[in-house]
């Protein structure tokens, strides 16, 4: 064991965790609920070490480094069983097993030229490693990265990957927040995945859950001060503003910096930020964002957040680059499916709502929500439209159909193509949920390998939908804890082959990236015209360039352009079609001429893009 003189000369990267420093492994843990702590080395030798007591509830110890993997646990004074390190870098036997010392410096990175992500002109791809491939591993997913890059994706947003209970799950109930989930592979497998993504010019952002503690957590046995007096629908909140919160804040700041430093992560999606309760003078979100950027000044990070109340302070005050826009999803869901029960009852799906999302971001900017019975949202004035992340599918919304039904399985193929065109050519930052790009047949259900009655908790949430509330539907819903529920969600990646929708998807992405107007996000002027509740026209204008976008989610329509100048060719030029969603190559039936002396004939359930020439 290193003596105190040796320890005092050691320079740590982080204030907590197990770090290799020269010839030693240095251990440091915060455990303010204990007056004594023992470090138990289990491999490659057995040793029990009484740790040195430091100020503010910290304990430390050092041991000589070995070439073989080192496994260890702690024995807190107030808990008579061995526990993993709360800052464990790897749990090879799961969250209740021994922690493994990891030397991140041994991995050979080849992404030195990668400088991170800018906030504009990105296309986000939400991904669950466990169901993306049959194997459900980092290395298997890495084999698919070239295909994903070829589709034009620029950011992979990984659903939570830190260690959680069970053999499968969404990951939002993590309990070892520094340890990549062992079933996906080793930490170096994760690094291999990131390294290859960077080689293909794709960034990686992590979905992180800082709003509640997962079930079967052990962190409170180290310090009860980790827990807040607040609790929410998913569990206990972390303590960011009460006694001992200084050290809890340090834990989460360290966590964010760690992922960027040791895994070259390019940013984060902060889950359910409205549930991160902090009444401190400086909110923990703001501090995390500031400190992680300071720790990586040479790298451009992309940090986003989910926020159901739609509070602009995440961008203005906390420094986030973008925010999820549920409004767009909800109005599109109603427009496409006609279903407006539960939280969808606040939306009509009318063209006016959709164009409001295109032009202003949030639809709710302080208006009264009938469903929530309170005002919702905040003004979006002066916020760049690229800072709104929009989607027609994501993990939550697909699973909230009870049977994990994909949008394309609820609507006609022509409507689906039309919606894809709007999503990919809109003024926002689009997010695609895995498999959406080729209209995959796999559902995405809620799954969690836990022993408590998760089906009842899930049903309590979903019963807000009247149909799901019925006994008949409730009795046939897939059980979240059954392995078959998880396995049904595995993607069938061979469905990408000879896929008309996938062909169209890639063409739309090319148009967004290469067209001089669409690629100039936040720099073009947007005009709109409502023809009826199902049909609207957008005109994007930039200097001498104009683009006319026609979206008709209803039946065919004949209209006169005389009363609406938006039809007029921009700057005395003429309109030329550059995209239509009914192309036979995309699975459509083609379109006839749309402009006549008498007026314009707009085909049913179709998107048409024209440019000024």
**241-265 pLDDT, tens per residue?**
999 999 999 999 999 999 999 999 9
Q: Does the annotation mark 22 as catalytic? A: no
Say if residue 345 is in the same domain as residue 365.
yes
Say if residue 87 is in the same domain as residue 136.
no
Contact between 64 and 45 under an 8 Å Cβ cutoff? The reply is no
The average pLDDT across 74-98 equals 95
Closest CA to 569 of 611, 600, 508: 611
Distance CA 512, CA 181 (A): 35
Distance CA 572, CA 40 (A): 79
Q: Are strands 525-532 and 203-208 parallel, antiparallel or unpaired?
A: unpaired
The gap from C-alpha 352 to its chain's centroid, in whole angstroms, comes to 28
Domain CATH for 564: 2.60.40.1180
Q: Are strands 388-390 and 525-532 parallel, antiparallel or unpaired?
A: unpaired
Q: Does the annotation mark 146 as catalytic? A: no
Asked, for residue 112, whether it belongs to a domain, the answer is no
Say if residue 138 is in the same domain as residue 228.
yes
pLDDT of residue 571: 83
Domain CATH for 411: 3.20.20.80
Burial class of residue 488, CB neighbours in 10 A (0-12, 13-18, 19+) = middle
Distance CA 268, CA 206 (A): 5
Asked, for residue 118, whether it belongs to a domain, the answer is no
Contact between 502 and 438 under an 8 Å Cβ cutoff? The reply is yes
Per residue in 318-365, pLDDT (tens digit) is: 999 999 999 999 999 999 999 999 999 999 999 999 999 999 999 999
Distance CA 461, CA 194 (A): 35
Give me the domain span that covers residue 542. 516-612
Helices 284-295, 245-263: axis angle to 10 degrees equals 40
Domain CATH for 92: 2.60.40.10
Q: Is the pLDDT of residue 306 over 80?
A: yes
Say if residue 381 is in the same domain as residue 403.
yes
Asked, for residue 117, whether it belongs to a domain, the answer is no
What is the token pair recorded at 262?
Answer: 């040791």
The average pLDDT across 440-467 equals 89
Contact between 376 and 326 under an 8 Å Cβ cutoff? The reply is no
Q: Is the pLDDT of residue 68 over 50?
A: yes
Asked, for residue 307, whether it belongs to a domain, the answer is yes
Asked, for residue 226, whether it belongs to a domain, the answer is yes
Distance CA 419, CA 487 (A): 28
Residue tagged active-site, from 266, 278, 306, 582: 306
Residue tagged active-site, from 26, 85, 271, 353: 271
Q: Is 493 strand, coil or helix?
A: helix
Q: In the chain, what is the straight-line distance between the N-terminal and C-terminal CA atoms, in Å? A: 77
Distances (CA, A) of 529 to 136, 352, 435, 532, 535: 46, 9, 33, 9, 9
Say if residue 168 is in the same domain as residue 96.
no
What H or E segment, with its residue span, contains residue 579?
strand 575-580
The secondary structure of 245-305 as a DSSP string is: HHHHHHHHHHHHHHHHHHH---EEEETTGGG----SSS-HHHHHHHHHHHH-TTSB-EEEE
pTM of the model: 0.97
Asked, for residue 63, whether it belongs to a domain, the answer is yes
Name the CA dihedral angle for 511, 514, 515, 518, rounded to a multiple of 10 degrees: 80
Distance CA 100, CA 41 (A): 10
Say if residue 490 is in the same domain as residue 547.
no
Domain finish residue from 480, 497, 513: 513
Residue 405's pLDDT band (boundaries 50, 70, 90)?
very high
Residue 544's pLDDT band (boundaries 50, 70, 90)?
confident
pLDDT of residue 5: 43
Say if residue 292 is in the same domain as residue 377.
yes
pLDDT of residue 421: 98
The average pLDDT across 65-74 equals 96
Domain finish residue from 80, 106, 132: 106
Helices 500-514, 413-425: axis angle to 10 degrees equals 20
Lowest mean pLDDT among 32-46, 387-401, 561-575: 561-575
Say if residue 487 is in the same domain as residue 531.
no
Contact between 240 and 248 under an 8 Å Cβ cutoff? The reply is yes
Say if residue 229 is in the same domain as residue 361.
yes
Q: Are strands 322-324 and 302-305 parallel, antiparallel or unpaired?
A: parallel
Asked, for residue 119, whether it belongs to a domain, the answer is no
Residue 565's pLDDT band (boundaries 50, 70, 90)?
confident
Contact between 224 and 76 under an 8 Å Cβ cutoff? The reply is no
Say if residue 539 is in the same domain as residue 442.
no
Task: Say how many residues make up the chain.
Answer: 613
Q: Is the pLDDT of residue 604 over 70?
A: yes
Report the alpha-carbon angle 512-515-518, nearest 5: 55
Contact between 319 and 286 under an 8 Å Cβ cutoff? The reply is yes
Distance CA 223, CA 10 (A): 25
Say if residue 271 is in the same domain as residue 341.
yes
Per residue in 159-170, pLDDT (tens digit) is: 999 999 999 999
Distance CA 538, CA 524 (A): 12
- DSSP state, residue 234: T
The average pLDDT across 480-492 equals 97
Q: Is the pLDDT of residue 9 over 70?
A: no
Asked, for residue 261, whether it belongs to a domain, the answer is yes
Counted domains in the chain:
3
Say if residue 302 is in the same domain as residue 226.
yes
Lowest mean pLDDT among 320-324, 564-568, 573-577: 564-568
Domain finish residue from 46, 75, 106: 106
Closest CA to 346 of 331, 336, 360: 331
């Amino acid at each position: 064991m290193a003596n105190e003189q040796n320890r005092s000369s050691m320079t740590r990267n982080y204030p907590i965790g197990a770090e290799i420093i020269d010839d030693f492994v240095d251990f440091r843990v915060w455990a303010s609920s204990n007056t004594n702590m023992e470090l138990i080395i289990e491999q490659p030798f057995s040793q029990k070490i009484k740790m040195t007591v430091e100020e503010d509830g910290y304990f430390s110890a050092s041991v000589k480094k070995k070439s073989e993997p080192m496994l260890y646990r702690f024995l807190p004074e107030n808990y008579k069983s061995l526990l993993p390190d709360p800052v464990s870098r790897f749990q090879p036997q799961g969250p209740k097993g021994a922690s493994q010392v990891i030397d991140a410096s041994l991995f050979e990175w080849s992404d030195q030229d990668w400088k991170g992500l800018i906030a504009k002109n990105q296309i986000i791809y939400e991904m669950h490693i466990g169901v993306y491939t049959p194997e459900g591993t980092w290395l298997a997913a890495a084999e698919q990265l070239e295909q994903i890059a070829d589709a034009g994706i620029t950011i992979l947003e990984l659903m939570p990957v830190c260690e959680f209970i069970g053999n499968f799950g969404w990951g939002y109930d993590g309990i070892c927040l520094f340890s990549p989930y062992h079933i996906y592979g080793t930490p170096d497998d994760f690094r291999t995945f990131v390294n290859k993504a960077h080689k293909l010019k794709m960034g990686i952002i992590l979905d992180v859950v800082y709003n509640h503690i997962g079930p079967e957590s052990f962190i409170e046995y180290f310090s009860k001060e980790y827990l807040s007096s607040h609790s929410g629908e998913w569990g206990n909140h972390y303590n960011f503003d009460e006694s001992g919160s200084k050290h809890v804040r340090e834990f989460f700041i360290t966590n964010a910096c760690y992922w960027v430093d040791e895994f070259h992560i390019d940013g984060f999606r902060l889950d359910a930020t409205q549930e991160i309760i902090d009444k401190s003078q400086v909110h923990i979100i703001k501090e995390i964002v500031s400190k992680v950027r300071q720790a990586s000044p040479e790298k451009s990070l992309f940090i986003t957040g989910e926020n159901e109340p739609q509070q602009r302070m995440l961008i203005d005050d906390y420094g986030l680059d973008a925010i999820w826009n549920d409004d767009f999803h909800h109005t599109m869901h109603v427009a496409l499916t006609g279903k407006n029960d539960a939280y969808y009852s606040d939306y009509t799906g009318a063209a006016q709502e959709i164009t409001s999302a295109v032009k202003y971001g949030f639809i709710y900017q302080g208006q009264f929500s009938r469903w929530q019975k309170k005002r919702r949202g905040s003004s979006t004035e002066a916020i760049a439209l690229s800072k709104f992340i929009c989607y027609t599918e994501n993990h939550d919304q697909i699973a909230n159909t009870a049977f994990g039904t994909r949008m394309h399985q609820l609507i006609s193929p022509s409507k689906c193509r039309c919606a894809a065109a709007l999503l990919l050519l809109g003024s926002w930052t689009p997010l695609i949920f895995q498999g959406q790009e080729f209209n995959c047949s796999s559902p995405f259900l809620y799954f969690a390998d836990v022993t408590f009655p998760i089906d009842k908790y899930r049903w309590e949430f979903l019963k807000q939908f009247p149909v799901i509330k019925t006994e008949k539907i409730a009795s046939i819903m897939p059980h979240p804890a059954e392995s078959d529920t998880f396995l049904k969600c595995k993607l069938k990646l061979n469905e990408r082959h000879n896929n008309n929708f996938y062909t169209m998807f890639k063409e739309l992405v090319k148009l967004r990236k290469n067209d001089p107007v669409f690629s100039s996000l936040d720099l073009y002027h947007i005009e709109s015209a409502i023809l009826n509740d199902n049909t609207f026209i957008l005109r994007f204008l930039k200097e001498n360039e104009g683009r006319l976008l026609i979206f008709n989610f209803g039946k065919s329509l004949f209209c006169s352009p005389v009363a609406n100048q938006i039809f007029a060719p921009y700057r005395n030029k003429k309109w030329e079609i550059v995209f239509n969603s009914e192309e036979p190559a995309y699975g459509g039936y083609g379109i006839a001429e749309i402009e006549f002396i008498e007026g314009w004939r707009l085909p049913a359930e179709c998107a048409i893009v024209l440019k000024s020439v």
